[in-house]
Amino acid sequence: MITAIEISDIAAIGALISSALIFWFGYSRSRKSEQIEIARELIDRIDEKGTKLTEVQSPSGEDSRTVEEQTEVVKTIGELSRELEYFSYLVRIHEIRDENTLRYYIPRLDDWFALAEIHLLTIRKPVTESIVDRQLNALNEIKNSIMPWLDKYSSRKGKEEEGTKGIGENR
């Protein structure tokens, strides 16, 4: 025989629902914190490589870098590229997807792409042309892989069709 629902039954159902909600909100919060931590760690590594690039030698109109200095620039940009690629990979697979995190970090990535391009173009000479072009192509592939996020979160938004230009295409 079916008996009336007792207060203890309602309390048990309420406890189950509240447990599920508490778990869900706690999980969402810890997931967001984890994304921020991953992004912060990667950006610190990107900043470290980018700072190293600015220390190699700032680009100037007349570039008088030695072959060793040019090699160091290419090597440093390669290191920076690997970090940029890893960050963009995590964005593409939605490991980092929190809107506020992306809004904060994506413009910094865009700045590092631009700085790497400037440095590569200043050392692009007949002797280094093939190496520089390979590095420019690699950076362009990475940049294109996260172009939707760059367009959405970067300050480049609104500039004349920059999103359609590849790195080094203004040569």
The predicted pLDDT at position 1 comes to: 42
Neighbours of 95 (CB within 10 A): 13
How would you classify residue 168: left for phi > 0, otherwise alpha for psi between -120 and 50, otherwise beta?
left
pLDDT at 164 > cutoff 80: no
pLDDT digits (tens, 9 = 90+) for 59-116: 554 556 677 777 888 889 999 999 999 999 999 998 998 888 898 889 989 899 998 9
pLDDT digits (tens, 9 = 90+) for 1-40: 455 677 777 777 888 887 777 766 666 667 788 988 999 9
Better pLDDT: 169 or 78: 78
Per-domain boundaries in the chain: 35-164
